[in-house]
Amino acid sequence: MYIAITGSKNNKDVYIYRSFRKENGKASSCIYKKLGKYNALLEQFDGNEDKLMTWAKEQAAKETELYKQHTGKVSVEFSKAAAIPMNERRSFNVGYLFLQKLCTQLRLDKVCRTIKSRHKFKYDLNAILTDLVYARILSPASKLASYEYCQSLLEPPKYSLQDVYRSLSVIAGESDFIQSELYKNSNFIHPRNNRILYYDCTNYYFEIEEEDDFRRYGKSKENRPNPIVTMGLFMDADGLPLAFDIFPGNQNEQTTLKPLESKILQDFNCSEFIYCSDSGLGSSSNRRFNSLGNGAYIITHSLKKMKKEDREIALNPTQFRRIGSDQFIDIRTLDESDEEIYNTIYYKEVPVVTGDMDETLVVTYSPKYKAYQRKIRARQIERAERIITAPGRKRKGKNQNDPMRFVKKTSVTTDGEIAEKQVYDLDEEQIQKEELYDGFYAVITNLEGDISEIIRINRQRWEIEENFRIMKTEFEARPIYVRREDRIKAHFMTCYISLLLYRLLEKELGNIYTADQILETLRSMQMTLLNTASGYIPSYTRTELTDTLHKTFDFRTDYEFITKTDMRTLIKDTKQIKSKLK
């Protein structure tokens, strides 16, 4: 490479040029790097052009050396007669390096150092916690299996398996501190949008027969007859998890909100936000708690559970409006075959007084939602008809969408028979009852003003369900292979951090890839060690996603060959905080 100065007399630039040969064999050159404006650089060297050129040539020499390292040819010797060493690992995962960079940005090492200063353990808590998170994302399994999986990372564990189990008690005890610090530090990566906070609960069952003080019998989301624990999760307006807690399985979900929200108010400095949740967590007590001060809430409201007179007002087809219009509409007059009308949402506001609270019930009607509900019900009715004609006993399940709810059983006796006979038919009355609610949806709120914003905020609740799905399926939060309460809580702490890391990674990649695409790519990114004296070659497929990962995190693992020295440098860089990720 060489230095060239180009441009007009008062507007010169200093470039590094690279020489090369074209496919036809002719010599050519191209700009490799711009060093800067000639006049500006000359001022830095006090007008001494010789010093400037000496410095520029040094930069060209450095770039030449780096270029050779990355593009130069290497030779590795192999023997057809020599066997590979016994028990020597040759395949390593490098996908965790992107997660490691995020952990560095989250200052997780500093968090662990602070925790260590309050305890007397000697093991490396940061290494254990991050490894548990990497394993949860890349190869979810038990703590023992996770420890063994981490041997396949470029940096195998230097701690023992017993250290892992000992650390779980510390992680559980410091859960609140870890969550609050991660929330603060996550702003370095993606500024948190805490104007709206979403809350929901799910539960996890244990394959045990007897309950204990923590794993208790309760209403399982999966209708399992096993002891469960309940997780309450807060999410911000961008879909990033904010805080969580674990409660005994028999605790009423309504009572899980206040202690966790109080912790957020105290430790996270989130004083004014809109609380959004479903009707199962929207008791009058919780609504009152979220109306204190400047608090606000938007909570789904069950039309079926309303008092008859209130429900009739809510479902009355008159006095609906289109968003942005003051004109009243009778939805019975709508031509729902018209595409514009089909895709429009209509609403009405119904004032509600609950004790000393003035609230508004916002009832929406959507022809598109109505068509969707009827399509789903038609399939369920078909299943109900097949059940009726099938031989054998008919049992109604616990799921609210069980097609057996459309099956009516009647006991009859015929002449000459003593015993009653069970006759099954479609329950037309039940079908008609459900059709009354087709297309309707309701939320209750203490907010006033922009209805479209209220509807938009409530629509985003699906993301918290998506967070639960990722934890349960992609990260396999259960089965849970630990039994003690503190270790169970530590297990969910690692699941929570894994979810936070994944969501931040998703944001950094521009929200254009699915969970399956991202996780499958990270899990497949293997490097093969050629031999102990040389280096690594990638043994994964380079894709658009791997290119995006490398560009986003400003390092590459897809060169044809990476020396062990370069790999150590790369690993070191993922542990250092520089500027914000590009």
Whole-angstrom distance, CA of residue 498 vs CA of residue 505: 10
Residue 580 has pLDDT above 60, yes or no: no
Establish how many alpha carbons lie within 13 A of residue 246's alpha carbon, considering only the half-sphere containing its beta carbon. 22
Whole-angstrom distance, CA of residue 576 vs CA of residue 582: 15
Q: What is the mean pLDDT of the chain?
A: 90
**13 by DSSP, 3-state: which?**
strand
Whole-angstrom distance, CA of residue 205 vs CA of residue 228: 4
pLDDT in tens, 349-392: 999 887 778 899 999 999 999 999 999 999 999 999 998 888 87
pLDDT in tens, 178-213: 999 999 999 999 999 999 999 999 999 998 989 999
**35 by DSSP, 3-state: which?**
strand
pLDDT score for 74 = 67
Average pLDDT, integer, range 488-504: 97
Whole-angstrom distance, CA of residue 271 vs CA of residue 533: 57
85 DSSP assignment: P
Contact 483, 460 (CB under 8 A): no
Contact 373, 447 (CB under 8 A): no
Whole-angstrom distance, CA of residue 404 vs CA of residue 402: 5
Establish how many alpha carbons lie within 13 A of residue 561's alpha carbon, considering only the half-sphere containing its beta carbon. 14
Whole-angstrom distance, CA of residue 549 vs CA of residue 377: 43
Whole-angstrom distance, CA of residue 51 vs CA of residue 49: 5
Rounded to two decimals, the pTM is 0.82
| Window from 100-114, 127-141, 278-292 with minimum mean pLDDT | 278-292
Confidence of residue 317 (pLDDT cuts 50, 70, 90): very high
| Helices H / strands E in the chain, number of each | 20, 18
Establish how many alpha carbons lie within 13 A of residue 360's alpha carbon, considering only the half-sphere containing its beta carbon. 18
Residue 520 has pLDDT above 70, yes or no: yes
Residue 582 has pLDDT above 50, yes or no: no
Whole-angstrom distance, CA of residue 138 vs CA of residue 526: 12
Contact 228, 217 (CB under 8 A): yes
Share of the chain above pLDDT 70, in %: 95
> How, if at all, do strands 27-37 and 91-93 pair?
unpaired
Phi-psi region of 512 (alpha: psi -120 to 50; beta: other; left: phi over 0): alpha
Whole-angstrom distance, CA of residue 232 vs CA of residue 234: 7
Question: At 95, phi and psi to the nearest 5?
Answer: -60, -30
Q: Identify the bridge partners of residue 536 per DSSP, sorted by sequence position.
A: 529, 562
Record the tokens describing residue 118, joined without a space: 């309050």
Residue 415 has pLDDT above 90, yes or no: no
Residues 453, 454, 455: CA angle, nearest 5 degrees: 90
Residue 68 has pLDDT above 90, yes or no: no
Query: 43: Cβ–Cβ under 8 A, 6 or more apart, which residues?
Result: none
Q: How far is CA 144 from CA 63, 135, 238, 472, 482, in A?
A: 46, 11, 34, 19, 11
Contact 108, 126 (CB under 8 A): yes
Residue 93 has pLDDT above 70, yes or no: yes
**363 by DSSP, 3-state: which?**
strand
pLDDT score for 70 = 62
pLDDT in tens, 416-438: 666 677 788 899 999 999 999 99
Residue 69 has pLDDT above 70, yes or no: no
- Domain map of the chain by residue range? 2-71, 369-435
Q: How far is CA 575 from CA 160, 434, 578, in A?
A: 22, 57, 10
Other beta carbons less than 10 A from residue 410's beta carbon? 10
Query: 18: Cβ–Cβ under 8 A, 6 or more apart, which residues?
Result: 1, 29, 30, 31, 32, 67
Confidence of residue 263 (pLDDT cuts 50, 70, 90): confident
475 DSSP assignment: S
Other beta carbons less than 10 A from residue 552's beta carbon? 16
Q: How far is CA 263 from CA 180, 244, 269, in A?
A: 9, 10, 10
Cis status, amide bond into 479, omega within 30 of 0: yes
Contact 33, 63 (CB under 8 A): yes
Residues 101, 515, 130: CA angle, nearest 5 degrees: 30
